[in-house]
Every structure is written in structure tokens, then in C-alpha cells.
A and B are shown apart, each in its own frame.
Chain A
Amino acid sequence: GEEVAQTPKHLVRGEGQKAKLYCAPIKGHSYVFWYQQVLKNEFKFLISFQNENVFDETGMPKERFSAKCLPNSPCSLEIQATKLEDSAVYFCASSPYQSYEQYFGPGTRLTVT
């Protein structure tokens, strides 16, 4: 597609439940980036992929967070055993090259209660 698609738009989970977010990059884009935006506009880089390979995972929390980009499937970000502080908007972005403009999806708002 011509836009980055993210599903769902909103996700509500109780503490301890699993959350799974999806991202379909723009067709032909090799790079996918995940960012987390908590309150006060604090964006945090989580992880990036080059096709199905992890490219940079320096921002991923060591526990509970995992991500995949499999061929012919949307990329996914999964949080096991969610905590209150995981409440945020999770944005996915795609890019045709490593150092090119990143196009952002509309985000998934995760609320952990």
C-alpha cells in the first residue's frame, strides 16, 4: 500500500495480559522502525528491521518485548505481561533505505489498566 497501516487503533489490556500490535509497511520499503511515545511527547526508539532481519534492537526492553517481521505478513510488536508504564502510543515507520525519510503509520494507542 501507499501508507503505513497499523492495527488496532486502540488496545486496552489489564496488567499482566499480552498485547500484540501490527504494522504493514509501505510496499517496497525494506526498513521498518518501531517507536514508543509516552506522555509528555517522549518518543523512544525500540527496534528496526531490514526486511525480516533485526537491524537495530538497542531500544528494546530486555524483558517482555519482542518483535518480528516475517515475509508476506505484517510486522508485529508483542508485549508479554503488560505493565501500567507500557501505556503509550506505538508508532511504526517504514523507509526504502536505511538513511531515507521514514513514513509513519497512525499509531496504536495501548492502555494498560
Chain B
Amino acid sequence: RKEVEQDPGPFNVPEGATVAFNCTYSNSASQSFFWYRQDCRKEPKLLMSVYSSGNEDGRFTAQLNRASQYISLLIRDSKLSDSATYLCVVREYTGKLIFGQGTTLQVKP
């Protein structure tokens, strides 16, 4: 079983749609949680950190459920520029990052 699991997609949605990604992780001792974005196998870039209280950044909302070891990302009003691979990432106590396999999003006009 992978340490961080995501549905690889692809998710094909029209502009303006709302799309949700989910992720589960296996190590209950994991310290911190993130969503990264990767474009065309360039370097991953931090999209947002994820907290149990939930957090929002513009059109993006992330949520962590520690009890069920589940992380989510909601994107509202999708834009063409949101097309990318979204990586669910968990940080261990040593600082190393464990990546999910990524979910591909394609937003169509």
C-alpha cells in the first residue's frame, strides 16, 4: 500500500466547474500536510498547507481529517490556468516529504 494515495484522474472539467480531490495517508504520525501543484514535470510548487480547521485561499479550500487520515482540496470556479497535476504531500518528522502519485486536472473552455 502506498503511503499517500490519490486518484490519478484525469479530471476533465469545464471552466467554472467545482472540482474536489481527495487523498489518504497511512502514517498516523505524519506531521504536516500540503497540496502542491506541478506543471508539465517542472518543479512542484506549494499551493497551500492543510489544517484540521480547514483553510481557504481564494478559490481553493483544503481540509484535513486526522482521525480518518484524509485530506481534501476543493477548487471552485475552475480556470483554464488551473490545469495541472495536484500532488498531495505529507511531511514526516525528519522533514522529508512523501508525495502521492498526483491527480491530473484538465480544465476545458
Seen from chain A, the residues whose Cβ lies within 8 Å of a Cβ on chain B are 31, 33, 35, 37, 40-43, 45, 48, 55-56, 58-59, 89, 91, 93, 95, 98-99, 101-102, 104-107
Q: Secondary structure of the B side of the interface? A: loop
* A-B pairs under 8 A by CB, number: 60
In the bound complex, CA of A59 to CA of B98 (Å)? 11
Closest 4 CB pairs of A and B: A43-B99, A104-B43, A41-B102, A98-B95
In the bound complex, CA of A55 to CA of B8 (Å)? 32
Beta-carbon contact of A41 and B87 below 8 Å: yes
**Given A91-B44, A99-B91, A102-B97, 15 other A-B contacts at CB below 8 A?**
A33-B97, A40-B101, A41-B85, A41-B87, A42-B99, A43-B44, A43-B97, A48-B95, A56-B95, A58-B94, A91-B43, A99-B93, A99-B95, A106-B42, A107-B43
